[in-house]
Chain A
Amino acid sequence: MLSRLLPKPSHFSLLTRISTKFHPCPHPQFPSPLQNPTFTTFLPRFFSAGGDGNNGQSPPDVWNLSKETDENFDPLFGESSGDVSGIAEADSWTKSTGGDEWETVPGFRPWSLGGEEDKGDDLFQVGDGVQTRTSVESDQEDEGKRIEEAKRLEKEEKELTAVLKGPNRAFGDLVAASGITDEMLDSLIALKDFRGIKGLPPLHEIEDIRYRKNTSKSSRADIERQKQEEVAKARVRLVDDKGRAYGTGRRKCSIARVWIQPGDGNFVINDKQFDVYFPMLDHRAAILRPFSETKTLGLWDINCTVQGGGLSGQVGAIRLGVSRALQNWEPDLRPTLKASGFLTRDSRAVERKKPGKAKARKSFQWVKR
């Protein structure tokens, strides 16, 4: 009798397979949620002698599971009534749900699902069925019964898996809640079968193509042309949904956001007229330079906000922003703007002060002695 309890290699593999099939939790020990709350401690229990009721219950449960996948355990069911009684005990045990006295996994919540009860009942009708077989019956009857049980088990397994996948608390809940459906899982390329797809050449062909591509030296001209095409394709007009083109400009701690749209020639900076904001003529001339270079002087309504930095920095930032916005509006203006150098973000910034010097470069006053 103890030999039954001894672990066989096949048991373990089956168990692991079963456990993966039943969506093991992220919990490191794999508790099978439905049937055996103490499945986590199953393996160690498996070794102990069938002394306490706990241990006695688990093997039949395990064998119930394994029954579905492997018919090898049929002879186990057909064995002595001690087995049956064990099953009966198992039945009584599993009927008492709640499981307060069970050593459970920390964090285990006894879950009570109506369907589950039924399923549990259904499942353990197997046990009932087994229980009713008090006498040893003929092999044929056994065969028939076994086939029926097998079928029933399969059916119940399906229902159970459906139940499992539905209100799956541990992992399946997350899966369901995240909206990943079965179709999506099916569509995962990694699990697909790539044998019958049309147009997909066989692997060796793909490998050949890849190899050739990697090793062939494309001429410089080709690479250049490809790059230029890419660049040219990127020159697309970008206009937001209000019909304005936008550009950002930065210079020396000033950040400007500039929106332009076709219009009269109004120029508003931070809600002020631009000659109120920049009283100095030089600044205004600098800001209007991109327009005068591209000969689009009075055609735009410009609205911009600028913050940070001082006046000159803000002027530079606005000019860059204006150039970028112009280029977004009309990509053909880019060569002109580029030639005049308005599209370059001036990267000059305040140099840091160094130790041993009064300022970044100025040294302290020289003392003779």
Chain B
Amino acid sequence: MLRTILRRAIATGPRSDGPWRLTATANYSSSKDTKSTVKKAKKSNKSKGEATAAADDDAYAGADADLFDDKGRARRLQADESDPSLDVGPNGRPLFTSTPTLAQLTSMDSCSYFKFKTEELNKVLPEGLPLGMVREFEEAMQSAVLVRQSFLDLRDNFRRVVDPPLGSARSKGSKVKKQIVLDGPVSCGKSTALAMLVHWAREEGWLVLYVPRGKDWTHGGFFYKNPQTGLWDTPVQAENILKDFLKFNESRLKQLLCQISDPIPLGEGAGVGWMKDGIDSMAMPEGSTLYDLVDTGIKHTHAAVGVVVRLRKELSLVKDIPVLIAIDQYNNWFTFSEYEEAVTVRSTRPIHAKELATVKAFRSMIHDDMMVGAFSHSTAVGKLRQDLPDVPSDARINFPRYTLDEAAAVCHYYLRQRLIRREAFSEENCKRIYYLSNGNGAEMRWLATFMREQ
């Protein structure tokens, strides 16, 4: 929305009293510009609808059209690609790392950007990217993420789980955690870090169940009560889960055998009711692979939920390759779902997420498998308890915000991506952006567009 306002402001032309020296309308600003006054003044500009002298129209239209004219900007970025001298980060360090894979990143590479190729990214993460990442790529017009020390620590933790370093394990400072919950303030990079972790794990060859939106499990589709288990089945959502799982891991699943041979309990199908003739379980043939199991769940909607529950058990029994369960928007699983149960004719009772069969199967962290959950502020969950049920007490870590160095790298990156005008850029402004947003990633991105020379 802001962009449309800005575009309109540009269309009406800047005021005649100089470039961007818009008068203050907010109480707290002085005659000098601040980001807030710019925002307010632009709004008032639009509402007043001034048409001022068009003398300096063209000049400013040219320079600032970058911000608002995506095509023009894309064109200029295209031209920039050939110029490597622009890729300079804070203190003259290179802005982009040259390491080819996430696995080879070291702490030397922190505070620099890692470029992804879009197709490759979509291939490795076919379930979808987290919203924050998508927005970032859109704004910067490039698929590059900042390498942060916090991500490297996360990755190293799981590396150590899989290959414990010989002998020097005791000397390592922090304990290796198999289950982690990423908590932290708004826009501090939790979902992005989780996505990068999944990317790295899949490159390493692990079997990863990635859930980019945990909210999908508790919202949407049909829900039926299963009298045998006493839980609520969500066949449509279960089917989606299985399909997502299959997207990347198909070939891998074909190599793994099922280890539990109990028949799968059947539930109510999506919109079709129970199976005829009272059949309530389906047997899996001997020697079927996990792929067959998942396929059965997709094909037979009655079996979807049962397959999901069975899959969870199977995943803990996989010994050949490391298994990682990565769930974003994990905090949605600790509150109520959108489903309700009719208690009387007139009133309903909201169903908690733990009463759903799918969620119940996957939510617990009290096990020996590797699991990462990331909280999200994008969903209206609110504040959760300090000690979550089924979560080990040391699993919850506070994901740190951006530091000053990381913020400087971010500003340089935006400069490179033509989000900030070159004349307006300065270290002082970078610092100001950082302190104003207090390390909030999305806000820094938004503020960067308003950077002015002072």
Contact = CB atoms under 8 A, between A and B. Distances in A.
B431 A273 contact: no
Given A276-B185, A281-B35, A297 B432 contact: yes
Nearest to A289: B28
A289 B30 CA distance: 9
A285 B36 contact: yes
Interface in B406-441: 428, 431-432, 434-438, 440
Contact of B28 (A276, A282, A291, A297): A282
Contacts of A295: 428
Interface string A250-283: 0000000000000001010000011110000110
A340 interface: yes
B435 A273 contact: no
A22 B435 CA distance: 76
A273 B440 CA distance: 12
Contacts of B432: 288, 292, 297
B249 interface: no
A298 interface: yes
B30 A281 contact: no
Nearest to A283: B28
Nearest to B446: A281
27 contacts: A265-B435, A267-B438, A273-B185, A273-B438, A275-B185, A275-B440, A281-B36, A281-B443, A281-B447, A282-B28, A282-B36, A285-B28, A285-B436, A286-B27, A286-B29, A288-B432, A288-B435, A289-B29, A289-B30, A295-B428, A297-B431, A297-B435, A298-B434, A298-B435, A315-B28, A319-B28, A340-B30
A197 to B, nearest CB: 60
A282 B435 contact: no
Contacts of A169: none
A284 interface: yes
Interface in A269-323: 273-276, 281-282, 284-286, 288-289, 291-292, 295, 297-298, 312, 315-316, 319
B231 interface: no
B260 interface: no
Contacts of B288: none
Does more than half of chain A's interface fall in helix, strand or loop, or is it mixed?
Answer: helix
A297 B432 CA distance: 7
A14 to B, nearest CB: 81
A147 B185 CA distance: 100
A272 to B, nearest CB: 11
Interface in B60-98: none
Contacts, number: 55
Contacts of A315: 28
Contact of A281 (B27, B428, B436): B436
Nearest to B35: A285
Between A265, A285, A312, the greatest number of chain B beta carbons within 10 A of the residue's beta carbon is seen for A285
Contacts of A274: 438
B317 interface: no
Indicate the size class of the contact surface on chain A. Answer: 20 to 34
B218 to A, nearest CB: 27
B404 interface: yes
Contacts of B447: 281
Given A265-B404, A289-B29, 18 more contacts: A267-B438, A273-B185, A274-B438, A275-B437, A276-B185, A281-B35, A281-B447, A282-B28, A285-B29, A285-B35, A286-B28, A286-B36, A288-B432, A288-B435, A289-B30, A291-B435, A292-B432, A312-B27
B408 to A, nearest CB: 11
A275 B442 CA distance: 13
Interface in B7-41: 26-30, 34-36
B431 A285 contact: no
Contacts of B438: 267, 273-275, 284
Nearest to B434: A298
A321 B25 CA distance: 24
B381 to A, nearest CB: 16
Nearest to B30: A340
Contacts of A319: 28
Nearest to A275: B438
A341 B443 CA distance: 28
Nearest to A291: B435
B445 to A, nearest CB: 13
A276 B431 CA distance: 19
Contacts of A291: 435
Contacts of B437: 275
A282 B28 CA distance: 8
Given A281-B36, A282-B28, A340-B30, A298 B436 contact: no
A132 B36 CA distance: 109
A315 B28 CA distance: 9
A273 B435 CA distance: 12
A276 B437 CA distance: 10
A281 B450 CA distance: 13
Closest 9 CB pairs of A and B: A286-B28, A275-B438, A282-B36, A285-B36, A285-B34, A297-B431, A284-B436, A297-B435, A281-B36
A319 B437 CA distance: 17
A285 B28 CA distance: 8
B125 to A, nearest CB: 30
A305 B158 CA distance: 41
A284 B434 CA distance: 12
Considering residues B30, B428, B437, which has the most beta carbons from chain A within 10 angstroms of its beta carbon?
Answer: B30
Interface string B228-267: 0000000000000000000000000000000000000000
Nearest to A279: B186
Contacts of A312: 27
Contacts of A285: 28-29, 34-36, 436
Contact of B431 (A286, A298, A341): A298
Contacts of A267: 438
A239 B256 CA distance: 69
Nearest to A284: B436
Nearest to A316: B28
A284 to B, nearest CB: 6
Contacts of B36: 281-282, 285-286
